[in-house]
Structure 1
Amino acid sequence: MGAVPEPHAGWTFLTNHARVLAAIADDPSIRIRDIAAHCRLTERAVQRIIADLEDAGYLSHTRQGRSNTYRIEPSSPLRHPAEAGLTVATLLAVLAQHDEQRDKRPRPWSPVAGLEQGAESGTH
């Protein structure tokens, strides 16, 4: 069993349930261990969150050998009254757009950029 991730102090914009759902949306056959690492949660916490999401009808799974394949119900409405009319699909679309934008942002420095600059100038 892996190490317990460091806890996060303070509040965040996304709940752990949203983070787990987004990780599953990215890879429906993702392992609980990998969700836990990605979301910085314990495996047990991820198991509880998945159970919550399944109990509420947001998620289901199919067992394939020793693995699970998850299916998200995209038309499920978000739970809070302030998000009335919004669905899981809307939330996941916003999160996917964020990921695309994050991937396109220029990095202040990257190992690859550093190597390219060194190669151009003749230094190694």
Structure 2
Amino acid sequence: MSPKMQGMVGVPEPHTGWTFITNHARVLAAIADNPNVRIREIAAHCRLTERAVQRIISDLEQGGYLSHTRDGRTNTYRIEPDKVLRHPAEAGLSVASLLSLLVQDETERVSNPVAQVGAPAEHRRREADMDRLLRRRVDRE
């Protein structure tokens, strides 16, 4: 484990292998949660290096998903919520649709760490959210 990753209290150990959510989605969700967030904070939250976060932000800006303004030493980010996702399989789904699931999930985990993902009410809500997104996608085809 790199020295930067050591000592992060409450953050799970590094994971090897694939994950369902990309680093780009994680960074975008962190920015959606706080448009004035610092790169250092994003890196710690997403368990990435600051340089990796800078590259991801650059990718997102070049793709038109994100822009920023600078005021002194502070960046304020603006996400383009109506921009559609890049992959053809998600054609028609917007950034806002993705973020509504990711940011809401993060807010719930932070505000209620005892709640389990498998809790019945939580499970039904997540299923309904995913079902709604998939139905919209099928309707567009």
Structure 1 length-normalised TM: 0.78
Change (3 A) 1:101 1:32: closer
- How many residues are paired up? 107
Matched, 1:52 2:54: no
1:97 deviates by 2.9
Matched, 1:88 2:83: no
Question: Does the 8 A contact of 2:70 with 2:76 survive in 1?
Answer: yes
- Residues in 2 aligned to 1:59 and 1:76: alpha-carbon distance in whole angstroms: 10
Question: Does the 8 A contact of 1:4 with 1:41 survive in 2?
Answer: no
Q: Give SS of 2:3's match.
A: coil
For 2:24, the equivalent position in structure 1 comes to: 17
Unpaired runs of at least 5, structure 1: 109-124
For 2:106, the equivalent position in structure 1 comes to: 99
1:84 deviates by 1.0
Question: Does the 8 A contact of 1:20 with 1:46 survive in 2?
Answer: yes
Question: Does the 8 A contact of 2:65 with 2:80 survive in 1?
Answer: yes
Per-residue CA shift, 1:46-101, capped at 9, x if unaligned?
Answer: 00000000000000000010110000000110011111110000000011332344
Q: Give SS of 2:21's match.
A: coil
Q: Give SS of 1:60's match.
A: strand
- Residues in 1 aligned to 2:46 and 2:108: alpha-carbon distance in whole angstroms: 19
From 26, 51, 61, the counterpart of 2:33: 26
Q: Give SS of 1:94's match.
A: helix
For 2:84, the equivalent position in structure 1 comes to: 77
Question: Does the 8 A contact of 2:32 with 2:103 survive in 1?
Answer: no
- Residues in 2 aligned to 1:83 and 1:13: alpha-carbon distance in whole angstroms: 15
Which structure has the bigger radius of gyration? 1
For 1:61, the equivalent position in structure 2 comes to: 68
Unpaired runs of at least 5, structure 2: 6-12, 117-141
1:38 deviates by 0.3
Percent identity of paired positions between Structure 1 and Structure 2: 69
